[in-house]
Amino acid sequence: MKHLTEYRDSQLIGQLLKMIAARVSQPWVLMEVCGGQTHSIVKYGLEQLLPAGIELLHGPGCPVCVTPASTIDQAISLARRPQVLFCSYGDMLRVPGSGHSLLEAKAAGADVRMVYSPLDALALARDNPDRQIVFFAIGFETTAPATAIALQTARAQQLANFSVLVAHFLVPPALASIATANSSRLQGLLAPGHVCAVTGMAEYQALAARYHLPIVITGFEPADILQGILQCVEQLESGQAYACNAYSRVVRDAGNSLAQEAVSTVFQTADQEWRGIGIIERSGLQLRAEYQQFDAGLATTSNAPAAQEECISGAIMLGLKKPQQCPHFGTRCRPEHPLGAPMVSSEGVCAAYFQYH
């Protein structure tokens, strides 16, 4: 755990903590959505510094963690094909499917490459016309625009040897599912700033009104997160519930219209399975008919039986449990031998607890 005295805004941090303590009159349960927020909270020990009545839950904001095992199995099946060069972000390589990971497939001879963007995969397609280049398109609304632009480019350049395995997720439907669950203790949300930089605030304003749920869009620095907690607490203490923007240096109310246009041109919403959680209606993206020629998922399905996972990632991402409540945390499940995705991803909550605790 890093001491906040080492942080450049330590004086501001102290002021925000005092303001939160002065405002809290009863216990409140808040959830930060994004894995980046979680890592900052755990790294700097923010939860331990907050008044005893404030409890933080960790939400489903890690795209690697929510990608289902069946999709990993599809990726491995594609990667093992002789003519395929399979491209993926680095975080996905060690995530277990039903039995294996992409890294294990690579060790067994599959041509699996780590890339930093879909444009890297496009370049490989241009440079290797005799190979089938498949890009593993994962992520929330933040990474979907880059996938959309890559597909528009591939269509314009007629790159028939380029395709994508789509695993894009939409945050608001998942938050709605959590808010309406019978087991939910959620009273306020810290929404992900990088997602809202793309989408804008409209969907979060609708969520706040529909479920009478305070929602504050925050960044990822300790001061950003504490400012968001303060604004959430102020709403709860006054009986209000609306969406507000505490990350205005990045997020605009309307979001990024160019990114939104690219996504809506290439994708349409679809039901989506979330690992450990199940299917959430209209919480994912699939390619529109005019782009289905680039859909690698149509060429393969997962024949593996549904995995009986020992990982309790679903309960953790729904805010029902913390990593320490998993019997395998830090023993059988460690970064070098993960039982589930939250111990693998750079945004995974279990990885944060293991690294900083």
Q: How far apart are the first and last CA of the chain?
A: 6
- Would you say residue 248 lies in a domain? no
Q: Which of 197, 216, 209, 170 is nearest to 30 (CA)?
A: 216
CATH number of domain containing 97: 3.40.50.11740
User: What CA–CA distance (Å, rounded) separates 330 from 350?
Assistant: 9
Q: Are 10 and 218 in contact (CB under 8 A)?
A: no
> Taking 70 as the threshold, does the pLDDT of residue 54 lie above it?
yes
- Would you say residue 304 lies in a domain? no
Strands 278-287 and 267-274: antiparallel
> Taking 70 as the threshold, does the pLDDT of residue 7 lie above it?
no
Percent helix, percent strand, percent coil in the chain, to nearest 5: 45, 20, 35
Question: In this structure, are 117 and 26 located in the same domain?
Answer: no
Question: In this structure, are 55 and 150 located in the same domain?
Answer: no
Question: In this structure, are 57 and 128 located in the same domain?
Answer: no
Q: pTM (2 decimals)? A: 0.92
Question: In this structure, are 49 and 180 located in the same domain?
Answer: yes
User: What CA–CA distance (Å, rounded) separates 169 from 185?
Assistant: 23
User: Which pLDDT value is given to residue 2?
Assistant: 54
- Would you say residue 295 lies in a domain? yes
Question: In this structure, are 84 and 134 located in the same domain?
Answer: yes
Domain tally, the chain: 3
What does the pLDDT look like over 93-129, one tens digit per residue? 999 898 889 999 999 999 999 999 999 999 999 999 9
What does the pLDDT look like over 166-200, one tens digit per residue? 999 999 999 999 999 878 899 999 999 999 999 99
Q: Which amino acid is at 59?
A: G
Please report which confidence band the pLDDT of residue 357 belongs to, taking 50, 70 and 90 as the band edges: confident
Cα–Cα separations (whole angstroms), residue 45 to 14, 36, 101, 117, 336:
13, 14, 32, 32, 24
What does the pLDDT look like over 203-250, one tens digit per residue? 999 999 999 999 999 999 999 999 999 999 999 999 999 999 999 999
Question: In this structure, are 87 and 156 located in the same domain?
Answer: yes
Q: Find where tokens 């320490």 sit.
A: 324
Rounded percentage of the chain residues whose pLDDT exceeds 70: 95
- Would you say residue 12 lies in a domain? no
Q: Could you say which of 213, 241, 269 is where a domain stops?
A: 241
Question: In this structure, are 87 and 157 located in the same domain?
Answer: yes
Question: In this structure, are 25 and 145 located in the same domain?
Answer: no
- Would you say residue 345 lies in a domain? yes
Question: In this structure, are 78 and 155 located in the same domain?
Answer: yes
Q: Which amino acid is at 356?
A: Y
User: What CA–CA distance (Å, rounded) separates 187 from 215?
Assistant: 9
- Would you say residue 90 lies in a domain? yes
Range of the domain at 151: 68-170+255-299
Q: Measure CA 320 to chain center.
A: 18
> Taking 60 as the threshold, does the pLDDT of residue 65 lie above it?
yes
- Token readout for 205 is 């304003």
Q: Are 43 and 16 in contact (CB under 8 A)?
A: no
User: Which pLDDT value is given to residue 183?
Assistant: 83
Q: Are 314 and 58 in contact (CB under 8 A)?
A: no
Question: In this structure, are 81 and 223 located in the same domain?
Answer: no
Q: What is the mean pLDDT of residues 312-327?
A: 91
User: What CA–CA distance (Å, rounded) separates 101 from 340?
Assistant: 11
- Would you say residue 4 lies in a domain? no
Q: Where are the alpha helices (DSSP H) in the chain?
A: 10-23, 35-43, 46-49, 63-66, 69-79, 102-107, 118-127, 144-156, 171-180, 193-199, 202-211, 222-238, 257-266, 313-317, 349-356
Question: In this structure, are 80 and 161 located in the same domain?
Answer: yes
Mean pLDDT for all residues in the chain: 93
Backbone angles phi, psi at 243, to 5 degrees: -95, 130
User: Which pLDDT value is given to residue 256?
Assistant: 98
Looking at residue 287, what DSSP letter applies?
A: E
Q: Are 335 and 343 in contact (CB under 8 A)?
A: yes
Q: Are 1 and 43 in contact (CB under 8 A)?
A: yes
CATH number of domain containing 181: 3.40.50.11750
Question: In this structure, are 232 and 97 located in the same domain?
Answer: no
DSSP codes of every residue in 209-221: HHHT--EEEE-SS
Q: Are 163 and 296 in contact (CB under 8 A)?
A: yes
Please give the torsion angle defined by the CA atoms of residues 176, 178, 179 and 182, in that order, rounded to the nearest 10 degrees: 130
User: Which pLDDT value is given to residue 124?
Assistant: 98
- Would you say residue 8 lies in a domain? no
What does the pLDDT look like over 277-316, one tens digit per residue? 999 999 999 999 999 999 999 877 655 555 556 889 899 9
